[in-house]
Each structure stands twice: as C-alpha cells, then as structure tokens.
Amino acid sequence: MQERSGNMGRAESLDVVAPPTDTQATAGVIRLEGLSLSFGGVQALNNVSFDVKEGDILGVIGPNGAGKTCILNCINGFYRPQQGSIHFQGQNLTTLRPDKIARLGISRTFQNIQLYTGLSVVDNLMAARHFLFKSNWVEGAFYFGRAHKEEVEHRRVVEEIIDFLELERWRKSVVGMLPYGIRKRIDLGRALAQEPKILLLDEPMAGMNSEEKEDMARFILDVEEEKGVTIVLIEHDMGVVMDITDRIVVLDFGRKIAEGTPKEVKQNPDVIRAYLGEEQSVPAGGS
C-alpha cells in the first residue's frame, strides 16, 4: 500500500440537523474543544482539542492508556466529559444520549467484538438497522403494508454490505462459529449497516494476521473512497496507520502531543519519545 495524500471522499451532509450555529462547529465535521475526562484521581483526557475533517481518515495513536478509546467513548456518548464540548455539524454531542448520536449518523466498532454470536451474519447486520425501521409493532407483528416493504429494503441494504465486504460465503453462518478475522469484518459491516456519516473504528485490526490486516485496510479505504464516510481510526499497527490515514492525532497520558500528516508525525521528536522511545523512529509504512 502507498501512503495516502489529500481527501479522497466526501461524507454526505446530514438532513436531520441544523446548520452550524457557532464558530466551534464550522472547522470540521466534528470538533473536539478542550475535552477533559477523569475517573476519580485518574486524568484520562486533559484539554484535548482537534477537528475531524470531512472525507478524512483520521488516525488516533498513542501508548496504552493514552486515552484513545476514551475519545471515541466521548464522541458516541458512552462517556460524558467533565469539561469541553464535541460539536457535530451544529449540535453539541455531549448533551445527547448514545442512541440520539447514532441517529445523527455516528457509528462505531469496539476493541472487543460485540456481535450476536448465536445469530447469522445476515441477522447481525439486520439488527443494526433497528432504529431505521418506521413501521409500528402492529404492522411488524402481522408483517403487512409498510413493515413488509421496509423489510425488503433493509435486506437489500444488508446484502449490498455483504457483497461489499466479501462475506457472501458466510451470510447464513452462525457468527459464533466463524474465524476471528471474519467476525471483525462482520463487526465493521454492522457499523456500516447504520448508514453512518462518521465511522469510529477502535482497533479494527487487533489480533489479525498480516493477510487479514491487508484485507481490512482495503475495506477501510473503500468505505471512505466509495461510500464517502469520514473515519476516525484507533490502531496500534503503525505501518497501517501511516499507509491509510490522511492525518494523525497523537495522545500521551491524556494529552495531545502532536497532530499532522503521517509524514509530519513520524518525524516529530515528541512522538518518538512518547510512543516508541528515544532511539527509535516511526515506521514509514507497510503492514
């Protein structure tokens, strides 16, 4: 894979939110401003600010415990920061419940696979679309009218995702019986089934072998380029991060210590000291 340059996709604009109403909301699709989060005496995030720009793949890196997952948990409403704000196209996400944030077009994957292991691939992807159904329980119970039409449309979208992620041979398989790498791919598919504008990926390649990582990197690039989804990516494989991201934010002990292009970040002495040690350098690329 070659190092990326420039924005290669455009996220669709939301039709469910008002236009930006203040300067904090205009610089990017998402703006984090002065975010601070603590658990008792532990400062997980300390005055973190950065923008997620439209069409970017933004990498968030740092040593274990640097606060990377806390960033995603704050964006999707799982954590509520004590200070700061997160604006998404005019709305302050820190005041919204996670389900409301999902409806705005923000979906995510987790470090540990969160799938219904007793259900098939198709059923797992269909489950992710539950909040997009508009039929009521009576229509659903008797499976007529709008419920039937919705079911057909949702299954069409799910089948498109299965084709996109090359999951055809496993579509009817019980997820719990599938290899780990395939389950990680299904996890990505379930996030895509929510039709996101922003996709938060928390270590999507953790535990994979080199071939599986190559496949996942290709799918992530395709999501951004073909579907126009803006992506925030946490990943420990520095070769992959340098290859596929447009910009990188580096955290250390809850603080942002660097931000820039992959080329700028890999040459930053603060990043080398905090992330890899004094005598090492950040890999240029390759996974």
CA–CA dist 260, 238 (Å, integer): 15
pLDDT at 162: 97
Model pTM score = 0.82
**Residue-wise pLDDT tens digits, 76-94:** 999 999 999 999 988 999 9
Q: Do residues 236 and 65 touch, judged by C-beta distance below 8 A?
A: no
For a pLDDT cut of 70, what percent of the chain falls above it?
79
Helix (H, G, I), strand (E, B) or coil at 163: helix
If one compares 279 and 259, the residue with the highest pLDDT of the two is: 259
**For strand 91-92 and strand 83-88, is the pairing parallel, antiparallel, or unpaired?**
antiparallel
**Residue-wise pLDDT tens digits, 214-246:** 999 999 999 999 999 999 999 999 999 999 999
Domains assigned to the chain: 1-105+197-287 (3.40.50.300), 120-194 (no CATH)
The single-letter code of the amino acid at 92 is N
Q: Kind and range of the H or E element at 101?
A: helix 98-104
If one compares 153 and 158, the residue with the highest pLDDT of the two is: 158
Q: What is the mean pLDDT of residues 156-172?
A: 95
Q: Is the pLDDT of residue 36 over 50?
A: yes
**Residue-wise pLDDT tens digits, 117-152:** 999 999 999 988 876 666 555 455 545 556 657 778
Which residue is associated with the tokens 């987790």? 110
